[in-house]
Amino acid sequence: MPLMALSLPKHEYQVRLLFDKCPDTFSPLSSCFCDEIHWIANPCTPVRFRYSPPNYLSRRAAYLHCFHSIIALDALAVSNWLKQGPLRVRNMGRAMGTSTKNDVVATYHGVEVLSAPHLGPNMIINMGLGKYERREVLSALKFIEEGDVVVEMGAGAGLVGAAVAKNCGPEKIISFEANHKLITSINALYEHNGIADKIEVHNQIVISDPEAPRAVDFFIRGNFLGSGMTITKGIERAEKVSVPVVAWATIKEQFKPTVLLMDIEGAELEFFRHADLGDIRVIIAELHRHIYHRPGMREIREGIAAKGFIEDREASGGGVFVFTAV
């Protein structure tokens, strides 16, 4: 992995980047990009530029944020920047470290990813390399077809649903995300990529139990990927919020979905216990064994099979399972 060391003047960071096996580490990126970064990061000529890290980052995290901000620049941006000479670096602080909310920080299966406070540097790198939610998105792109109506439970950053809307030609995607802090950014992502007519997001939790309450508790962690109705770590530091419930029966009646795409951090066990899966032809679900363990996994798989589905064992893996209607 790349290494970096920084000295910190009051208003400027002096950056020295040392790369270890850069061509292998960044093989998905262009060789031009790697060479230019080598040039920028020549250990003999440290680069100085203005950089203001987000105020919630520790000094060590700010170092990494600064580094990842550099390598997250796309090759064309770096190329254009270098044509103006090394002194131009002094004016690149905003492009590198303090992105505005409309900055494109990565491209993910054709979807332009906008800067957002919940996207950390490692996550942005993984998005650009296609590693973010890799199993889930590849299964979705393979099994979702033109004309499908998709219900997505657990939109997260909005990228998996956006990739489906961009590439699969669904009639409609109805997404649900319990974390209210993500909704504005998700809508901005949809608008920016011209898919807002195909996909919509609701700050609700879908419950299949006919006796479900009107709202349920949800725990928001610093890393949104670890948030959920049930969390096994860090609950003392999580923010507990009440999220409105929408009935699965209502969703089915109103939208008539054909595909169920879900990543709801452990709540899938309770959902599948009560869910009517009629008219669904494909289920793509990330299951969380660490929450309900082996008995829960068995119950989910056997319960889905009893409702007329078979598991596609070739497509399933890495915690993501694909079930198709018989």
Of the given ranges (120-129, 227-236, 279-288, 289-298), which has the lowest mean pLDDT? 227-236
User: What is the percent of the chain where pLDDT is above 70?
Assistant: 69
More confident residue, 121 or 202: 202
Of the given ranges (60-64, 141-145, 177-181), which has the lowest mean pLDDT? 60-64
Residue 72 has a pLDDT of: 40
**Contact present, 22 and 38 (Cβ < 8 Å):** yes
- Strand-pair category, 215-220 with 239-247: antiparallel
CA angle (275 as vertex; 274, 281 as ends), nearest 5: 155
pLDDT over 70 at 142, yes or no: yes
Give Dmax over CA atoms of the chain in angstroms.
67
292 CB-near residues (< 8 Å, 6+ apart): 266, 269, 299, 300
pLDDT band with cut points at 50, 70 and 90 for residue 101: low
Q: What average pLDDT does this structure show over 308-321?
A: 96
**Contact present, 95 and 76 (Cβ < 8 Å):** no
Q: What average pLDDT does this structure show over 258-269?
A: 94
Residue 234 has a pLDDT of: 78
CB atoms within 10 A of CB 203: 17
Residue 244 has a pLDDT of: 98
pLDDT over 90 at 211, yes or no: yes
Residue with tokens 């270890």: 20
pLDDT digits (tens, 9 = 90+) for 295-306: 999 999 999 999
C-alpha 254, offset from chain centre? 27
**Contact present, 143 and 322 (Cβ < 8 Å):** yes
Mean pLDDT (the chain) is 77
**Contact present, 210 and 248 (Cβ < 8 Å):** no
Backbone angles phi, psi at 266, to 5 degrees: 105, -15
pLDDT band with cut points at 50, 70 and 90 for residue 63: very low
pLDDT over 70 at 143, yes or no: yes
More confident residue, 185 or 89: 185
More confident residue, 148 or 67: 148
More confident residue, 298 or 77: 298
C-alpha 97, offset from chain centre? 20
pLDDT over 80 at 179, yes or no: yes
User: What is the percent of the chain where pLDDT is above 90?
Assistant: 60
